[in-house]
Amino acid sequence: METRFEKKLLCIGAGYVGGPTMAMIAYKCPQYKITVIDINHKRIAEWNSDNLPIYEPGLDEIVKAARGRNLFFSTDVDKAIKESDIIFVSVNTPTKTFGVGAGMAADLQYWEKTARHILQCAESPKIIVEKSTLPVKTALAMERILTSNNNKIHFEVLSNPEFLAEGTAINDLENPDRVLIGSRQTESGIKARDELVEIYANWINKQRIITSDIWSSELSKIVSNAFLAQRISSINSISALCEKTDADINDVARAVGFDSRIGMKFLNASIGFGGSCFKKDILNLVYLCRYYGLNEVADYWDSVVKINDFQKERFVINMLTAMFNTLVNKKICLWGFAFKANTGDTRESPAIYIAKRLIEEKAELVITDPKALERARIDLQNIDANVKYVEDPYEAASGSYAIAIMTEWDLYKNLNYEKIYNSMIKPAFFFDGRNIVDHQRLFEIGFNVFPIGKPALTHF
């Protein structure tokens, strides 16, 4: 019985954001009917199966609890648009690969198609919620499309960016630092905003639900990602200096992070940040700044991406130099391929860049990852004649010259390293791209250990 639901919510785009976000709302609010649609039929079929299209700890449980009760995954877009009161738009907004702004600006084609589709199908007033990350002022374009054929239906556009991180999405959605809702400061804008506030207030303390004008909300999302990525580039830039000066990046990060104004989080030196959003959102910010003639501001943010590229390349050069300047026909084992732990996502993973560079050096790669091997095969297709994909890290490492940690999976912290060392070619090299293993212990076993931002521990 449809009438038992207080509200009908629709989400367009069943990806990493749309799926988990709507599952959480459905789980917390059985009084609403939530439909999630996608043009990708395979994805929808997977959402309706026991094998969800994304790996995210805790996601299976909440989907199972709500699916079929008040959570529905469908491909019938027209019907879903017609019957919904509130439409979240969570389609992908990748970097443009063609024409003006190629390689920098956001590609808004999926976004615009969605707006036109809503206009074409809607028969009653609706609140449209921007969930995707968008350039500031995109809501204006959305409003213009929705009012373009002078129909009498009122659409109110809100900005409600998503701050979840992959791998911790369920906790981030259940206990967010904040929910941000931007609206027009008109009577109807504020009414729509309050309606969305009430949805989140079903499980989130109202003090954490913050509101602003719509442009500030759009911009805050991109700036949040830029600040987070900037911290990683800051610590990674200092890791390079530590390696030259025998300082230890963990000690530096700890000493700096103890200052409560700076804080401890997001100061883990690494092979560089990956993920579908940091680079794309910063490039978008850079593009916007240049568009408005703010070249100094653009250069400042661009340097965050440049340091990230430098960090990935530096890691490859360190491997090459340590291994006597040749990797030809050497079996090298990459531990992890996902862009971070607890996800199967490899989008923009630094492991992709590093694998490609090692392949150029004619190394033979063995890649292992508990969740991302399928994606790794796709990322390296056509260049993987000398690449093997192996589930078991012991088997992967056996017979190799070097192990390089790409992803900080807990699994790699407590393996039987004596056994692994004994199965490798000597001298055995260990490059810890995430600083997660006990370097001293590995050195004592016999490995030549190369952490990030710390003195190397070598036997020669």
Start-to-end CA distance of the chain, whole Å, equals 74
Q: Which is nearer to ligand UGA, 95 or 225 (CB)?
A: 225
Task: Please give the helix or strand (H or E) that residue 46 lies within, else none.
Answer: helix 41-47
- Map the footprint of ligand NAD across residues 17-56, applying CB under 6 A: 17-18, 37-40, 43
Q: Which is nearer to ligand UGA, 268 or 284 (CB)?
A: 268
Task: Based on the residue annotation, tell me whether 277 is a catalytic residue of this protein.
Answer: yes
Using CB distances below 5 to 8 A depending on partner kind, what does residue 91 bind out of ligand UGA, ligand NAD, none? ligand NAD
Give the residue, chosen from 88, 200, 273, 287, that forms a contact with ligand UGA under the rule CB under 6 A. 273
CB of 277 to ligand UGA, least distance (A): 3
CB of 167 to ligand NAD, least distance (A): 9
DSSP string computed for 263-320: -STT----S---SSSHHHHHHHHHHHHHHTT-HHHHHHHHHHHHHHHHHHHHHHHHHH
CB of 310 to ligand UGA, least distance (A): 14
CB of 117 to ligand NAD, least distance (A): 6
Using CB distances below 5 to 8 A depending on partner kind, what does residue 303 bind out of ligand UGA, ligand NAD, none? none
Contact 329, 362 (CB under 8 A): yes
Binding characters for ligand NAD, 247-276, by CB under 6 A (x = yes): -----------------------------x
DSSP string computed for 47-63: HTSSS-SS--TTHHHHH
Cα 77 off chain centre by: 26
Please tell me the distance from the alpha carbon of residue 425 to that of residue 242, in angstroms, as a whole number.
29
Looking at this protein, which amino acid is placed at residue 251?
D
By CB under 6 A, which span of 23-31, 148-156, 275-283, 439-447 interacts with ligand UGA?
275-283
DSSP string computed for 354-408: HHHHHHHTTPEEEEE-SS-HHHHHHHTTTS-TTEEE-S-HHHHHTT-SEEEE-S-
Using CB distances below 5 to 8 A depending on partner kind, what does residue 113 bind out of ligand NAD, ligand UGA, none? ligand NAD
Give the residue, chosen from 44, 204, 214, 267, that forms a contact with ligand UGA under the rule CB under 6 A. 267
- DSSP lists the bridge partners of residue 429 as 402, 448
Omega of the bond leading into 161 within 30 degrees of 0 (cis): no
By CB under 6 A, which span of 76-84, 105-113, 156-164, 285-293 interacts with ligand UGA?
156-164
- Map the footprint of ligand UGA across residues 212-251, applying CB under 6 A: 225, 228, 232
By CB under 6 A, which span of 122-130, 135-143, 271-279, 315-323 interacts with ligand UGA?
271-279
Please tell me the distance from the alpha carbon of residue 118 to that of residue 127, in angstroms, as a whole number.
11
By CB under 6 A, which span of 55-63, 107-115, 265-273, 393-401 interacts with ligand NAD?
107-115
Please tell me the distance from the alpha carbon of residue 381 to that of residue 389, in angstroms, as a whole number.
12
Q: Which residues bind ligand UGA (CB under 6 A)?
A: 133, 162-166, 225, 228, 232, 266-268, 270, 273-275, 277-278, 339-340
